[in-house]
Amino acid sequence: MTPDMMCSTDLEGRKIQGDRDPSSEMLMHLEVYRQRPDVQAVVHAHPPIATGFAVAGIPLDRAVLAEVLTTLGSIPIAEYATPSTRELPEAVRKYIKAHDGMLLANHGALTVGTDVYSAYYKMETIEHFAKISLVARLLGRENLISREEVMRLQGLRDSYGIKAPAPICADEDLPQDQAACQVVQAPTSPGSRLVPDVLGQPSDPPALARGTWASFGEISPKPSAKADDGEIRLTYRELSALIEEAIRSLR
Ligand SMILES: [Zn+2]
């Protein structure tokens, strides 16, 4: 595609300039601009890993990556709708007020932003997040970030100047209105801290500053350190030894 193939329309979808017709998904784009006056760009694509989650019906809403929680919050799935029909903008409308990115069931993904690069990078973030989630699920374990930590990360939005369209829902046990807040799955028990307290209170050094570590449950040989929360931390050398031992026992 080259720039001369593009066309412009007004907010009713009437063509203003260009030789070609607008995208068949124009109605979805226009609906986003109507619902979100702050949005200046919409990106719609079919990135394969994120679309795999959309096909499997698995939203990307678990508290797993700090940068995703601070930027997009959660990535829900808009219900399936026939592409290019009026159904699709209807399906998107339910989530677009509170989310800058979403999956479209059995179809693809949608992101928005104050400019086209911001929307584009959010699309890249969703696909990156989907890849990491896929690998973690293949490995058979996802260590979720605690709700307390999720709320702390949300507090960082202001300091980074991130203007999220809605807050993360405070309590996941209550029925959620996904037009008002972002549903994030996070355990309520206090867990490890990734960032210092944003309220400016004195706090422990971030867990990640202590060096490279991995959490491995009950595996021998004996780990070098066991934290109070039951998490086992290993050095690279110990981790390599564990992997070598596991490979030997497979043979
Ligand atoms: Zn599409």
* Ion ligand 1 — residues with CB < 5 Å: 108
Reply yes or no on whether 148 is catalytic: no
d(CA 237, CA 65): 26
Q: Phi and psi (nearest 5°) for 179?
A: -90, -15
Sequential DSSP letters for 120-153: HHHHHHHHHHHHHHHHHHHHT---PPPHHHHHHH
Q: Which pair of structure tokens corresponds to residue 204? A: 């422990």
pLDDT band of residue 190 (cuts 50, 70, 90) is low
- pTM above 0.85? no
201 pLDDT tier (thresholds 50, 70, 90): very low
Q: In angstroms, rounded to a whole number, what is the distance separating the alpha carbons of residues 6 and 14?
A: 14
Tell me, in angstroms, the distance from the centre of ligand 1 to residue 212's CA: 41
Q: Of 12, 25, 172, 238, which is the active-site residue?
A: 25
Mean pLDDT of 89-114: 95
What distance in Å separates the CA atoms of residue 236 and residue 230, rounded to the nearest whole number? 19
* In the predicted structure, residue 192 carries a pLDDT above the cut 80: no
Work out the mean pLDDT of the chain and round it to a whole number: 84
**192 closest CA partner among 178, 177, 209, 217:** 209
- Using the mean position of ligand 1's atoms as its centre, give its distance from the Cα of residue 215 in Å: 39
| Contacts for 4 with CB less than 8 Å, ≥ 6 apart | 19
Residues 231, 192: contact at Cβ < 8 Å?
yes
Mind listing the pLDDT tens digit for each residue in 219-245?
A: 444 445 555 555 667 778 888 888 888
- 3-class SS string, 160-197: CCCCCCCCECCCCCCCCCCCCCECCECCCCCCCCCCCC
Neighbours of 130 (CB within 10 A): 23
Averaged pLDDT, 143-151: 90
Among 47-51, 150-154, 216-220, 223-227, where is mean pLDDT lowest? 216-220
Evaluate if residue 11 carries a pLDDT over 50: yes
Q: What letter does residue 82 receive in the DSSP assignment?
A: -
pLDDT at 112: 97
- Calculate how far, in angstroms, residue 25's C-alpha sits from the geometric centre of ligand 1: 7
Q: Please, what is the Cα angle at 225 between 221 and 226, to 5 degrees?
A: 100
Looking at the chain, the number of H-run helices and the number of E-run strands are 7, 8
Please, what is the end-to-end C-alpha distance for the chain in angstroms?
51
Give percent of the chain with pLDDT exceeding 90: 55
Q: How confident is the model at residue 160 (pLDDT cuts 50, 70, 90)?
A: confident
The secondary structure of the chain in percent helix, strand, coil, rounded to multiples of 5, reads 35, 15, 50
Calculate how far, in angstroms, residue 158's C-alpha sits from the geometric centre of ligand 1.
33
For residue 197, name the pLDDT band (cuts at 50, 70, 90). low
Structure tokens at 59: 């939203």
Q: How far is the CA of 88 from the centre of ligand 1 (A)?
A: 10
